[in-house]
């Protein structure tokens, strides 16, 4: 009996927490715009250097 009650409470909570479809689309649009900007930013030189070092180490270990 308690399981059914708990399940019903969760379903009611889900219904209360639903976001309007217009708001969901707006959030999605803003997030896509933000991530598109991030993808177009250059990789910081420090990260490039770390990646090069990692590649070199992997190649050396592969030759051993």
pLDDT for 19 equals 80
pTM: 0.43
Q: Which DSSP letter does residue 41 get?
A: S
pLDDT for 44 equals 93
3-state SS string for 1-54: CHHHHHHHHHHHHHHHHCCCHHHHHHHHHHHHHHHHHHHHCCCCHHHHHHHHHH
Rounded Cα–Cα distance for residues 20 and 2 (Å):
31
Domain housing 26: 2-63
pLDDT tens-place string over residues 7-46:
666 566 666 677 888 999 999 999 999 999 999 999 999 9
**Overall domain count for the chain:** 1
Tell me the average pLDDT across 46-60. 95
């Amino acid at each position: 009996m308690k399981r059914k009650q708990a399940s019903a409470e969760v379903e009611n909570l889900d219904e209360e927490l639903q976001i309007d479809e217009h708001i969901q689309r707006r959030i999605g649009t803003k997030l896509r715009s933000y991530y598109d900007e991030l993808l177009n930013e250059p990789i910081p030189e420090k990260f490039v250097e770390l990646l090069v070092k990692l590649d070199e180490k992997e190649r050396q270990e592969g030759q051993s």
